[in-house]
Structure 1
């Protein structure tokens, strides 16, 4: 998707709070996002095709993601996957490769708004609303969780010790950004230019 396709809710260059260098936020704008669901008896076929098409191994199970080659393969729940990609053709390619006899592919590119949260206090700011232990020992790199933030259903992905990507429904993105900036006041933050998955 292009920059003109999605609203710009985070204002690049903005600095606020006690220490503006404590946290950084930026819009995370992959080129495509799709949800893939397998029919109950076709999970193995769909999972194998996803791994092959994305060029990455499957996560060990629900609640994790793997990444490589500009793609993330996320296992959300039994029979439900999310593919986030820097390649704008990924969703269309998966629609061709996954038979409707095996499952379905739904384009979510315009339905999700991503934010990269980075800094030593990244987990702390999320834990103001998320009742999940985000300590690195309990929620390591490659872990994901679906949780409500300020009554907004979001997907939280841990990239490493100090970086998370959070995807919210586009229709509720403004409410999520408002919450995030307010929650981060205690620590301070600055906003960078939009970017992709790297």
Structure 2
């Protein structure tokens, strides 16, 4: 553990009953779509930009599990995170640095900057009582963001979910089949979406979106 943590963080981690690792502390990290962004070019079929795609890379991803009917658990987690843990199905909450997505009645995905995730995990383990689970997924997932007037059209080509604003409002989150893979989709703005995808499928989904977006004037933001 000391090989991947600063001295101060290693001391804090060692004081816990379970192994806690800061995945981005000193080890070099590379985005799972790094090669595609660097070498894969596109030729849009229209000169007008209708969709902007970018990777929100190297964020901290934490899976929290616990009993949403337990007021103590919900209150303790909310106090640490500075956000009310969402207990309504398919919802999310966010502030300037952190987003919490409801995944199931006892499971949430917490996304924050990578330099905060170790501290968040340590604080949760120190505060939470009773039965709970925390798993750091930071190295195993990434986020692809789509924005623009035609972002919804790419999604319609790629997944079976109804994305009409009346059915899928801002803040809603859902897991879905995406192309020949899967993703967790969150509507973060009227014309903005974030896709949380597994690292092993990220390059495939990136290339799929590049192909699907060419007719809408896709632009890649780096």
Q: TM-score range by the shorter chain?
A: 0.7 to 0.9
Are 1:11 and 2:37 matched, yes or no?
A: yes
CA distance in 2 between counterparts of 1:118 and 1:94 reads 33
Q: Greater shift after overlay, 14-23 or 75-84?
A: 14-23
Shift of 1:71: 0.7
Instruction: Give CA-to-partner distance per residue, 1:108-140, whole Å, 9 cap, x none.
Output: 101111111011111110111221111112111
Shift of 1:91: 2.9
CA distance in 2 between counterparts of 1:73 and 1:44 reads 17
Shift of 1:31: 3.3
Paired residue secondary structure (1:147): strand
Paired residue secondary structure (1:88): helix
Task: Quote the RMSD (CA, aligned, Å).
Answer: 2.3
Partner of 2:16: none
CA distance in 2 between counterparts of 1:41 and 1:18 reads 48
* TM-score normalised to structure 1 length: 0.86
Partner of 1:126: 155
Paired residue secondary structure (2:207): helix
Rg larger for: 2
Segments of 5+ residues of structure 1 without an aligned counterpart are 194-198
8 Å contact from structure 1 (residues 156, 164) kept in 2: yes
Aligned residue pairs, count: 191
The verdict on how the C-alpha distance between 1:41 and 1:122 changes in structure 2, with shifts beyond 3 A counting, is: closer
Segments of 5+ residues of structure 2 without an aligned counterpart are 1-23
Paired residue secondary structure (2:208): helix
Name whichever structure is richer in strand by fraction.
1
The verdict on how the C-alpha distance between 1:134 and 1:57 changes in structure 2, with shifts beyond 3 A counting, is: same
The verdict on how the C-alpha distance between 1:103 and 1:16 changes in structure 2, with shifts beyond 3 A counting, is: same
Partner of 1:98: 128
More contact order relative to length (CA 8 Å, sep ≥ 6): 1
Partner of 1:189: 218
CA distance in 2 between counterparts of 1:41 and 1:67 reads 18
